[in-house]
Amino acid sequence: MTALVLSLIEHLWPYLLAAGGAGLMLWRAYAAGKKAEKAKQAEAELEARDIRDQVVNDVSMLPPDKVRDELSKRAAK
C-alpha cells in the first residue's frame, strides 16, 4: 500500500504542486479584495464623520431660537 501511494506521489507531484500554487493565488486575490473593501469602507466612514462634524459646527453657531425654529419646521414635514 505504501509503495502505491509513494508511486502516485512520485508521478503526480507536479500536478499537486500546480494545484497548491493555484490555491495560493486564489487565497491572495481574496485577501487583497477583502483589504481593499475594508479601506473603502473606512474612507466612507471618515467622509461621513467629516460631514457630521460640519453639520454640528454649523448648528452650534446658530442662536438657540433659530435652531428650535429650524427643528420645528423639519419635524412638521
* Domain that includes residue 50, residue range: 2-76
* Percent of the chain's residues with pLDDT above 90: 57
Structural domains counted in the chain: 1
The pLDDT tens digits of the residues spanning 9-23 come to 889 999 999 999 999
Residue 1 DSSP one-character state:
-
User: Phi and psi at residue 62, in whole multiples of 5°?
Assistant: -80, 150
Q: Which amino acid is at 21?
A: G
Residue 62 DSSP one-character state:
S
Q: Full-prediction pTM beyond 0.75?
A: no
